[in-house]
Each structure stands twice: as C-alpha cells, then as structure tokens.
Amino acid sequence: MHDLLENFICLDCKKVLAKLEKIRGGGRERVYLACDFDRTITPFFNQKGEEISTWGLLSAKLPAAIRAEEIRLYEKYRPLEIAGKMTVAQAVEWWSKNLDLYEKSKLNWSDLELEVKEAIPARPGAKELFDLCEERKIPIVIVSAGIKDVIELWCEKFEVNPYKILSTKLFFDAKGYVCGWDKNSLVHALNKNEVGRELFAELGKTQPFSILIGDSLDDAAIIDGSDNVLRLFVDDAANKNDGFNKKIFEKFDLILKTDSLMPVVKMIASI
C-alpha cells in the first residue's frame, strides 16, 4: 500500500497505513467522503489565472460602492481568520453582513448562472473522484462555507451527484433576483462540524469509516473522530512551506503534493 502514498507528504506513514488498512478491511460499503468545496474540489485559480470561489463570483457582480463595503469587511475579519483568532460570533457577523450585501444589491441569478458555468473549473481529478464514488456507491458530502446555489450549478455543469450539500442557501424573487438568504442554512468557517454532526452521526451507523478532504486547518473538524477518519489536506502551495506543513500535520494525516485529486481517486479505487 506504500505506493498509494507516493503523491502525498506523510509525517507518520505507519499510522496512515494502519488507518488505510482499517478502512480497506471494513469494505467500500462502510465508507463515506466529506469534503470542502472552494479550493478543494475547485482549484485556487480559474483558466484566466484569476482567484475564484463561490463568494468571489458573487462579489464581482456587486456595484462599486457595495463592493467597497465587502472589501472593508474582508480586511477587518480575514486577518483574524488567518491568525486563528476569529470567534464564532465574528464569523457569523462577517458571513451575515456579506450575504446581506448580496440581498441589498439584488443580484440577478440568470447572470450568475452563466458565470458559474464559465468561470469555476473543477480541480483535476475532481470529476473522476465523484464518478468513482457514485459507481461504487460511496456517498460524498460537501460541507462548504460558500454558496449552495453556486455549488449546485457547478455540480450540474460537471454532471456529478453528491449525497448532500451543506452550505448557505440564497432566496430569489419571481424575477430571479437575490432577495435574501436562509439563516438556518448558514455555514461559515467555524461551524462546519456543527452543521454536519447530525448527518455524519446518521451515516456513521452504517458507514463508520470516512475520508475527509479540505484546504484549511478548520476543515479538519468537519468530522469527529481519529482512528476511523483519514484527513487529507489539499492546497496548490501546501508543500512549499515547512512551517505551515507542521501546523497542517497537527490536524491532518496527509498533504497532497500535486494540484490533482487523482492520487485520492487511486486511494479510493483501492478500497
């Protein structure tokens, strides 16, 4: 099984191989995947070399004055998030204020629909990962602090069918303009574990083993557990900073060396 790790950075390979052996021994029918979306299932940059995310797509459509307010919020809260000092209350405030800006701007969904299909690519190997899991009846749950409506359009474009998408849902009026958002669906950087807990507890009754894929340190908490969870970190610059890698290994088992998810596909195929 060592060949399954050749495209990963591994700190404790013995521990990782023991987890893999345990998962394989349980059988594919007892496994599910959980993953982040922005910069995990999608790449950091689109075909034009632009940074892209579900939020960025909406932000680009904001009027200049409102865009300036969004930037002000970003500059206030983003440093706290990067430093790991952002509180749950601050995360709720940041996400909520951003979503309120979209409502205030009355963004038109028909414009956004075309933009999604042109501007948000799939990370190499993502389509293959979804197709393999669907073929083998392995559920994939997307847990994203982005926008559910955008993720659904992306899934439609690439003809993939996740088991469940946990993400913030927008509301639209009869003419297709954003007119609000579902406050009960709010997913931010710090509550991914909370929003998925009930679903994962239910899945865990029949599928006690899981593979988690994320691109931020907070993503490690999406699923509870240790021995039955294999956590994979994916980021286009992950293996260029040894100091950051040390922080990653405090929460994740493996760091993907490449920008492709094909090594993950190979791993899933071996189960």
Which residue type occupies 271? I
Buried b (16+ CB within 10 A) or exposed e, 134-166: beeebbbbbbbbbbbbbbbbbbeebebebbbbb
The band of 114, judged by pLDDT with boundaries at 50, 70 and 90, is confident
Phi, psi angle pair for 64, to nearest 5°: -55, -45
List, in order of start, the domains of the chain with CATH numbers: 2-44+122-269 (3.40.50.1000), 54-117 (no CATH)
What is the model's pLDDT at position 111? Answer: 79
Q: Check: CB of residue 217 under 8 Å from CB of residue 175.
A: no
Mean pLDDT, range 238-249, rounded to an integer: 72
Q: Which residue has the higher pLDDT, 96 or 84?
A: 96
d(CA 37, CA 144) in angstroms, rounded, equals 6
| pLDDT band for position 237 (cuts 50, 70, 90) | low
Residues belonging to the chain: 271
* Residues 213-239, mean pLDDT to the nearest whole number: 88
| Residues in Cβ contact with 23 at an 8 Å cutoff, skipping those fewer than 6 apart | 31, 209, 211, 228, 230, 271
d(CA 103, CA 81) in angstroms, rounded, equals 24
Contact 30, 270 (CB under 8 A): no
d(CA 121, CA 50): 11
Per the prediction, the chain carries an average pLDDT of: 91
Query: Across the strands, what pairs with 45?
Result: 51
Q: 115 pLDDT band (50/70/90 cuts)?
A: confident
The predicted structure's pLDDT at residue 243? 67
Quickly state the pLDDT bin for 52 (edges 50, 70, 90). Answer: confident
Among 109-123, 141-155, 174-188, 229-243, which stretch is predicted with the lowest mean pLDDT? 229-243
Q: In this predicted structure, what is the pLDDT of residue 42?
A: 95
Question: What percentage of the chain exceeds 90 in pLDDT?
Answer: 76
Q: What mean pLDDT do residues 96-114 have?
A: 88
235 token code pair = 């980021």
